[in-house]
Structure 1
Amino acid sequence: MLPLFGDERRRRAINLGGSTSATSQAAILEQARARRIEREALRRREESAIKIQSWWRGTLETRNVRRHMRQLFLQDVTSLTGLRCLVFIGQDDDLLQQWSAAMSMDDRLLFGGAVSQDKAHWVTLLCRVSVLLIKSVAKAPLTSSALTHLQVLCKLLDPLYAARVLGSPESDLPRMLTQYVMQHGLYYNIRTSIETIALDSKDDPAIPYLVKLVYLPFSNVLPLTELFTQYLHALAIHILTIPLLPYRIPLISLSELSSKLPLAYLQALSSCITDIVMQTSPSAQINIIANLLAFTPPRYAVLPLPSLAAYIQLLRALLSALPVHALDPPFPDSKSQSLSWEDDSDRDDDDNGLVPGCLVVSHSVLPMLDARTRKKLQTLPSSSHLNTLLKLTRQHPQLLPDIVALLMALNIVWPAAKDKVLGTLLLYGGGGLVREIYRDQVRPTPLGRDENIVTVMGTDNFYHLYYATEDWWPPLLLLTDLYTHTLRTMGDDEFFSNSRTLLTVNELIPFSRTLFNIAFTLYWRDDQSTLQDTNVPGLNLRWINVRERLTKCLQAIHARDSRRPFMPQNHWHVDTQIDMSSFIDAAVHEEQETDEVSGLHVTSKRHRAYFSHLSPRLGILSNIPFAIPFETRVHIFRLFVQTDMAKRGFNQFSRHNRVEVSIRRGHIAQDGYDKLSGVDLRAPIFITFIDQFGEPEAGIDGGGVFKEFFTSLCKEVFDSDRGLWLETKKNEIYPNPHSYASEAYNLSWYRFIGRILGKALYEGILVEVAFAGFFLAKWLDKQSFLDDLASLDPDLYQGLIFLKNYTGNVEDLSVNFTVATEEFGVAKVVDLIPNGSNVPVTRENRLRYIYLVSHYRLTKQIKLQSEAFFEGLSVMIDPKWLRMFNQQELQILLGGVNSPIDLGDLRQHTQYGGLYNDQDPTIRAFWKVMESFDQEQRRAFLRFVTSCSRPPLLGFKQLNPNFAIRDAGDDQHRLPTAGTCVNLLKLPRYTNERVLREKLLQAISSGAGFDLS
């Protein structure tokens, strides 16, 4: 072969006589390296040239061979030789069209090779041509050639057609062809073909053949074999993931497909459910769910039990894999997604305020759902579908665990449908499902049996909970949701009636303790990040969300127990397992750290989750405070206030940073509003009263004058005649719902009053004002429910109870989703939901109606007033401090404890002035008289001296200033007087015990002798 690039390989002349030049050794080495590189480059060029020449010769030869093969094929299209040539040539659409057209003309040609002596060669070649045909269809499904290819394929894969042509029912040709094309992507190419055809082109002639190719493979394999499972798996992955599959198929073909799908053998999928979930995207998973709902529910009654179980397990697995809100993402035609009506927030819109480190809703990109897909998915939470599933559990009780797990997964991934699901479940069987789930699925599990807080709080116990079998959690969590849901629309009378509690008290005690044990464990852990980063086994639910669900249910049960106790003593407490002294110290320390990190007051749920993450003890105090004894929490509250006061440099009796205010005697409320609205009320407030002549009154405010001002101010601002407050029949006040009260000026008064109440809590001043429980719930960011309505509007409450328990046709009552209000004698109808006047109340939606009516009356009507009040209150008191208490406890914190007055405690913390001491005869007589008083007389005395009839919660040591007795002269006819501003009794030196008793009773019963001096 001649050199390609000249004679560069000719050896160069070598000088053997040694160098006579001055070339250095380094230069010689460099020249040698350069020549070596040059030779290597030359070698590579020659090798590349040889490869190019070889490739070109091969290409020319291939072209020649293909040209020859093409000629042979055209000479005899239907022969075995022609078939070999077609396979060798490969994906040539023109030749494939000629072959399939020829074969479609005569079935004997198509199947003839199956009975010839070259059967094995024929079948092998036919398998490969079949793959070429389906790939050609996938590439251009709308062409006439594609239709011919599909006709040929349907004949080849149809065992009945092959048997008819060949005259032998035993032909294995369709089975072998099916196995080969399935291994080479039959369903993948069918999917591609169907999706290429326009969605509205269901009349395209190719579609019936594509549908036939979907079910024909199952005609060529025995059910429940390994091949059958593979085919069914491929069907789920490639065919059931086609968007809007039923809407792409003409009705005749749809009926044909529905009858031919092997739904009776869905148990074959049991072993590959995890693979199906892992191999599909969220969009594909939603399509599988929607398509299964199109084909399967009509056949529930005839499906074998194993197939039903596998179907439910598959739905559950698919739902559990979806992101939360995937089934109700924001739509292009709506600005926001509607929230569940049972959300316990008072706010109408979601709080989007974020704090670094908060757990927030996953930011996964949610698939945009077509309207027809949404409509089909609505089958899943519909009452009819849920009732059908529940009826199946009556025929097959072993299905209940799987159905419970499915319903729990549905509630998690589709929050907007949760209330519909829970409402349907509660209506089914009159609440029997709740008892059934508890008795059969919760109580027998280790979670249901664990009543020992010590074991739950163990170091390794959380990991025991985490790795517990995934079958334990769905029934417990669904039961928790159901019980929380039913308590929202259940009055106390129903609750305490055994026939209406769903669980008996004897069952509720261990159930609530189970929830309490788990919730406390989840709050108590130091590594809170574990709760935010890990899911409950088998569910798309974070542990922190489990904790939230359990907490809501616990709070609802505890609220009932607070109103009418039915739990055993210390049922809610953990003080026997935790050292309270160290808990208090740690809580104060965590509060200081949290305050340094936040620099703000925390009001939103996301913020609370964040601070629970920072501080386990604050998480307990904010969410399940009843775990800690009330007196301990009050002590912690006072320590929080003291710490805050010290941080701000305030001292109640110091002149440093004090605020001095002049108040006119006849204008206490207005002057207080005008002069204190812009003042930091946490600072010491020094009051100077201006008399009717415009002169300052004599006296030094050592705290007493301020208390006098404060007491008078509260009497004025909480007077219902001012128009800001109304009273219930129990004389408990709440904001006036009238539109007048929501005007800007009056809202500013609510803010001011909130700050004043905050000052009382901050200073520990008792205020004898009783607030309605549903209004106190607003202070705690809690929702009010049906039972709270009894105190506000008894007639409406009874009407709703009647509606709830009505056994007839609810629609006959002609109730719609509206509520009537009246202002200035003018009636007005308010829609509870959009277009509510045209939405009738039915048996299925009446719980929602009851909830919405209660929510409107208890929350929406006073929303602005409550928010303004709480805005002022939260300026003074960190909201998370208040959440350490429930409504009843808050009232005690404000006004003192309604318990017997302990005279021993009062005497121990009494100070004496003037001529008195503890051993003075008049003082000894005074205490003997006090011991003879009954509790009503003692309360009257306490109100006479301090302006509040209730003793401080933690005893009289907290009365500020301490109770004092000072002598008031020798006049035996003079009545005792009191300086309520300084908790002072001015007692004349009576020499007779009987006279002392008479004069004291006269003073406290008539109010005579009140003295501000």
Structure 2
Amino acid sequence: MKHFPGSTKRQRNVNLSGKSKSASSLAVAREERARREAERQRLAAAVKIQSIYRGYAIRRSVCKNLRSDWDRSVGFPTALPPIKYSDDSLALLLSFCDTTDVADVHRLGFMLTAFHPYDEPGSLIGLILSGSDRSRLLVARLSRMLLAALSLINIHTVATRTQTLHFLSFLSCIVTYLPEQADGTYFQTMRALISRGLVTQLSTISPLEARIESLVAVLQAIILPLQSAIGGNRALVYINFMQEFLTTASLDAALFSVVQVSTFRKLLDVHQLLGAAAQLRIDQLAPENTLWLLSYLIAFVYGPEPPLSISTLQLSLQDRIFSHPLYRQVDFAGSLGSSETIGILAATLSPILDMYGRDIWNQTTPSNKKPLLLPNTQQNFFIGVERHLNTPEFIKQQLEKLLETDFISNLTDGITRNWPAPRSAQPGSTCHAAQSFTLHLLLYFRFLHRKLHNRLFLARSQDGISLLVALYRQIQGTQTFRNGVTSIRDILDGLKLTYKKTAKTSLKSSEWVAIFLFLDLYCFSSIVMDDEEFFTFEGRSLQADQLQDLVSFLKNLAFVVYFEASEIESQIPDEMPRRLSTRSDTSHRFNMRPDVAGIYGVSLPWVRNIVIRILRSLHRRDSRQKFLPDGFWLMKEIDSEGTTHLIAEEEARQQEQEQSNDIEDTDTDSDNDVSWTPAAGDSKYLNKKQGKKSRDNYLAAITPHLGVIQNLPFFIPFRTRVSIFRDFIKLDQARRGTGDRELWRLHQANPLQDQPGGKAKHHGIIHRDRVFEDAYDEFYTLGDGFKEPIQITFVDSFGAEEPGIDGGGILKEFLSSVVQESSRTNPSKGVPFFTETEDHMLYPNAALTDQILWDLGRVGDNNTSGLQTLPPREVGDLLRRFEFLGRIIGKCMYEGILVEVVFADFFLLKWSKVMLGNDDVGLGVDDLKSLDRILWKGLQALKHYDERTIKDLDLTFAIENTLRVADPQAPNGFAQKTILVDLKPNGSQIPVTSSNKLEYIHLVSRYKLAVQGKQQTNAFLKGLSSIISPRWLSMFNQSELQTLVGGNESPLDVDDLRKNTVYGGIYTIGDDEQEHETIKMFWRVMKRLPEPDKRAVLKFVTSVSRAPLLGFGSLNPRFSIRDAGSDSTRLPSTSTCVNLLKLPRYASETVLEEKLLYAANAGAGFDLS
């Protein structure tokens, strides 16, 4: 029964089953159609299969009948060869022959007997091929059939090897008459046979005559097509030979181990080979094949001369080929190593090297995979790709032939040939080809670097000029260099060139080849050339005006590679695989081009690395001995005044990087994947992507400034860099919650209150008579917590605590006292942690660990390594104290406290290099001057000694060390002990001669600067880097670091001090803005005091005799003066903890000066208050 619902409208029919009847019907219909379509396809496939099978069966039946007819016509296999040749019988054989059928392969061999003998004058082959077109076509088809059979034949049995040689003998004659048959397939077959070990198997045949016959058959198949006296199109044959055969891997083992290279190269026309190389389709070769081709070409051109006694096998092989009637003799008289042909060789090999680089790039950047990331920008993009440790020995040996004196001499002539002529820089010229070839060698083969660099550095052109100087003269005459000295735009336009050059841009690119080659060689020369040679400004050294132009060009180049990197990288061609790289100074990624300036193999990180190394080297030399005007290193294009704000951005970058670690690298990969987009409602993903894009844009903007600050800091004024350094520290203090000193002082007044930032207060009680040891006991365990504020209570010699409120002065006094006590060099007053140079500069005492080990009996008279096992407890304690000393110096720099200590230059050079993880950090013999000037002079003199003088010196590769060891019998309880240290294994047994004296000089320098005292130095640097980041220190050179530690020696600026002084008591300046009369007298006295007295007064008040690096405005607390009554007999007193001078109101300037100097020189302080 239905009820009336109160409405006349039709009720909705709601189906809660979730199924639609109409949709279900459509699905059924769709399935039916799919079944019917599948059935139709199955029936069509069955018909097709049946058709194919019927055709196959019919063909088998027809071929079977044809085989029977052929067998009957020639009597196979019962008839005795040779058979009689006819075109019909050959055509019948080719109509049914199947090379996968062993019987058919035998039939081919049976047919070949009709052509015997193959190679005699007037042979049947010659007659047939000179006959009708049908005969030529049939023989050509037969050769194709034989090649197909050879590609499948098993060569590991005697019968098949005999059959293989039979086929090869026939083919070698056919291709001499029909050179078009010696195509890629032909040489691919030869390559397959050689690679499968045919030659090595034939080399084991006995007797010798049979072995020779077999090997000759193989050699003829390879050589006769190339050197035929009949064929006219040899160039095409040589191209196919190189493209398909000379790209075979490991021919050194598969062929040249039996047939020597010296024999094989005599059978070839190497001039024709080089000509064909220029026409190769190199872009179709894999990188390893390209490398093998390069090595074979070098082997043929610069291969070994035949030995004096040639083996019977080699002689017989050579004579058999030479005597072949179809072989054309090669005139091998011309020297391929002469300077006349170096251009041909370089022009041939340079494109091969270029393509090798392209293939490497393409192969290591698959389009469907995540691009490889380079570890940092200080390496060119082939490092990690070029697996030189796995490079086959044969390739290494061939490449090392390029280091021979004759080749380098010819190459040098090629590099400098006809440069003044306008066409010498043109692409394709001898000069350009030689330069390009040399640059590519240096780019791609790292195992050649040192030797090749050394050979080129020593090379001279035909007119006796150093290659380095000749190259500079070349680039000095180019428009690119001349414009680049003064213009940044021209450099940018040049670097934006791509490898797809036009005729207009090719000349510019060729000029950049010369420039990059010079820069690469000059970078090497900056390592091996010492100051003595450099500052002669002659020989291999550039002249002063040339150096000035070079530095100007490099400064502009450096600006471009940092600030215009994105514009250069944006020029990457669309078809070139894109590859991501990371900068060493940022996590920002960018698309990296491998063809900067249109030169494949030159990447922006490589250019940047070269420029940085040269500029830093030149700046170090200029720091040691000026050769450039003052202010020349500064770069006005960089906003030096506006760079300090980047410090906040640097800190924000680090925090942003930490917070964005959850953004997966796969996000980067999907940026270019247009086939995938996130869901429309995925706002979290979109926000993350937008944040990442903003972060990348942000980093792209600040990265250049940070890169310059860290790598080329001398572009920016020193004072600006000090401001940046202090801002780094302020941000670090803020991050640790210790940046607000006023809050910290408030905490000192309320000890029960928690310290700001939740940090525990560090308090130490320090006895005046043992400052260093107490400091070590109190604070060593803090680690990097030593950065935080510490409170010091001094205890005098009577055990009483000294009064004082630490507003910064007590900390200064504490740190200064620790540094002063630890820098003692007199062993009688304690452990001499440091040693003095003759200029009274300090460096870690290198003998301390050896002295401890001597006392423990672990060092013998001939010690080569210092610590031979794990360090004993005593050495560990010593190294921990050195680490603490590093923290002390770091704390001084962190707090901006200057200490009166001077470190040696070579030691300061290591401070900012600890981040590189490098033992010698680039120290060389020139840096030895700052350690031991006498030894440095001796080594400089040794370079010029002749053999006889060196022999008289009786030097060996060992050096003496002097230790101060305990000796009860000595007057003072100590004696000097000398130990001998080998500079290399068994060095004490190796005499120094004129041929190895440079190695001796290098090893002595390295030992003194890097090896001796390495443990102490590393411990010190470990402590220093725990307080001050090496990245911050990298902004300064050694002299600037010394200024950071101890201030500078410039006269005190009394006006600056007066401007930044705060007055208290009745000395406070009133509304009339007039100073008190006593204050006026004080400043008049300070103005006329000698410099030492001014410094004494400053130290009296602030405990430091030097002005802050950023001026007295940065002194915290400010320099203050307060009245101390009207008693004119009273001495002035100070509170160094707050930089406060308590000055009585004296009646005259004379009295004020007398009392002030007396108090300052007597060291009166807080106790007189």
TM-score higher than 0.5 here?
A: yes
Counterpart code for 1:775: F
User: Displacement of 1:39 after TM fit?
Assistant: 8.8
**Which position in structure 1 is the counterpart of 2:910?**
778
Counterpart code for 1:408: L
Q: Does 1:759 align with 2:891?
A: yes
Counterpart code for 1:668: V
**Which position in structure 2 is the counterpart of 1:70?**
71
Alignment of 1:169-188 (within 5 A): 175-180=176-181, 182-183=182-183, 185-188=185-188
Moved more, 424-433 or 638-647: 424-433
**Which position in structure 1 is the counterpart of 2:239?**
232
Distance 1:401 1:771, change over 3 A: farther
Is the 2:67–2:93 contact (alpha carbons within 8 Å) kept by the matching residues of 1?
A: no
Counterpart code for 2:94: V
Distance 2:239 2:1094 in 1: 83
Distance 1:285 1:831, change over 3 A: farther
Is the 2:386–2:445 contact (alpha carbons within 8 Å) kept by the matching residues of 1?
A: no
Q: TM-score, normalised by structure 2?
A: 0.72
User: What secondary structure, in the 3-state scheme, does the structure 1 residue paired with 2:496 have?
Assistant: helix
User: What secondary structure, in the 3-state scheme, does the structure 2 residue paired with 1:451 have?
Assistant: helix
Alignment of 1:314-713 (within 5 A): 314-320=348-354, 364=385, 366=387, 368-382=390-404, 385-390=407-412, 399-429=430-460, 432-441=466-475, 443-447=477-481, 449-452=483-486, 454-455=488-489, 463=496, 469-499=508-538, 502-525=541-564, 527=566, 529-530=589-590, 532=592, 534-536=594-596, 537-574=598-635, 576-597=636-657, 615-650=703-738, 651-653=740-742, 654=744, 655=747, 656=755, 657=759, 658-679=761-782, 680-713=785-818
Distance 1:461 1:30 in 2: 65
Is the 2:469–2:540 contact (alpha carbons within 8 Å) kept by the matching residues of 1?
A: no
Distance 1:196 1:422 in 2: 40
**Which position in structure 2 is the counterpart of 1:193?**
193
Unaligned segments of structure 1, at least 5 residues: 1-23, 159-172, 327-351, 601-609
**Which position in structure 1 is the counterpart of 2:287?**
282
Distance 1:645 1:987, change over 3 A: same
Deviations 1:849-904 (A, max 9, x none): 54443222212223322222222222222221111111111111121222222111
User: What secondary structure, in the 3-state scheme, does the structure 2 residue paired with 1:426 have?
Assistant: helix
User: Displacement of 1:401 after TM fit?
Assistant: 3.5
Counterpart code for 1:129: L
Distance 2:255 2:1095 in 1: 81
Distance 1:483 1:975, change over 3 A: farther
Distance 2:1029 2:879 in 1: 21
Distance 1:208 1:938, change over 3 A: farther
User: Displacement of 1:685 after TM fit?
Assistant: 1.5
Counterpart code for 1:949: S
User: What secondary structure, in the 3-state scheme, does the structure 1 residue paired with 2:485 have?
Assistant: coil
Is the 1:785–1:854 contact (alpha carbons within 8 Å) kept by the matching residues of 2?
A: yes
Distance 2:343 2:491 in 1: 37
Is the 2:203–2:258 contact (alpha carbons within 8 Å) kept by the matching residues of 1?
A: no
Deviations 1:532-565 (A, max 9, x none): 4544333424311221121011111111222333
Distance 2:171 2:301 in 1: 29
| Equivalent in 109, 133, 138 of residue 97 of structure 1 | 109
User: What secondary structure, in the 3-state scheme, does the structure 2 residue paired with 1:378 have?
Assistant: helix
Is the 1:946–1:980 contact (alpha carbons within 8 Å) kept by the matching residues of 2?
A: yes
Q: Does 1:203 align with 2:203?
A: yes
Distance 1:194 1:857, change over 3 A: same
Moved more, 611-620 or 432-441: 611-620
Bigger relative CO (Cα 8 Å, ≥ 6 apart): 1
Q: Does 1:52 align with 2:53?
A: yes
Distance 1:293 1:616, change over 3 A: same
Is the 2:172–2:222 contact (alpha carbons within 8 Å) kept by the matching residues of 1?
A: no
Distance 1:525 1:699 in 2: 56
User: What secondary structure, in the 3-state scheme, does the structure 2 residue paired with 1:726 have?
Assistant: strand
Distance 1:509 1:252, change over 3 A: same
Alignment of 1:100-115 (within 5 A): 100-101=112-113, 103-105=115-117, 111-112=123-124, 114-115=126-127
Q: TM-score, normalised by structure 1?
A: 0.82
Distance 1:177 1:845, change over 3 A: farther
User: Displacement of 1:766 after TM fit?
Assistant: 0.9
Distance 1:645 1:186, change over 3 A: same
Alignment of 1:855-870 (within 5 A): 855-870=1006-1021
User: What secondary structure, in the 3-state scheme, does the structure 2 residue paired with 1:859 have?
Assistant: helix
Distance 1:373 1:843, change over 3 A: farther
Distance 1:47 1:323, change over 3 A: closer
User: Displacement of 1:129 after TM fit?
Assistant: 2.6
Counterpart code for 2:544: V
Counterpart code for 2:523: T
Counterpart code for 1:704: G
User: Displacement of 1:509 after TM fit?
Assistant: 1.2
Deviations 1:813-867 (A, max 9, x none): 8766555444455555545556666777777765555444322221222332222
Is the 2:647–2:727 contact (alpha carbons within 8 Å) kept by the matching residues of 1?
A: no
Distance 1:788 1:42, change over 3 A: closer
Counterpart code for 2:1004: V
Q: Does 1:725 align with 2:834?
A: yes
Distance 2:179 2:249 in 1: 21
Distance 1:645 1:371 in 2: 56
Distance 1:113 1:544, change over 3 A: closer
Unaligned segments of structure 2, at least 5 residues: 1-24, 205-210, 304-331, 361-372, 425-429, 567-587, 661-697, 748-754, 851-870, 914-920, 965-975, 1069-1073
Distance 1:392 1:763 in 2: 60
Is the 1:114–1:123 contact (alpha carbons within 8 Å) kept by the matching residues of 2?
A: no
User: What secondary structure, in the 3-state scheme, does the structure 2 residue paired with 1:780 have?
Assistant: coil
Alignment of 1:28-47 (within 5 A): none
Distance 1:365 1:62, change over 3 A: farther
User: Displacement of 1:793 after TM fit?
Assistant: 1.9
Distance 1:65 1:737, change over 3 A: same
Identity over aligned pairs, percent: 30
Is the 1:977–1:1010 contact (alpha carbons within 8 Å) kept by the matching residues of 2?
A: yes
User: Displacement of 1:905 after TM fit?
Assistant: 0.4
Is the 1:293–1:377 contact (alpha carbons within 8 Å) kept by the matching residues of 2?
A: yes
| Equivalent in 134, 141, 164 of residue 121 of structure 1 | 134
Distance 1:838 1:773, change over 3 A: same
Moved more, 62-71 or 389-398: 389-398
User: Displacement of 1:296 after TM fit?
Assistant: 1.0
User: Displacement of 1:943 after TM fit?
Assistant: 3.9
Distance 2:34 2:444 in 1: 70
Alignment of 1:908-919 (within 5 A): 908-916=1059-1067, 919=1075
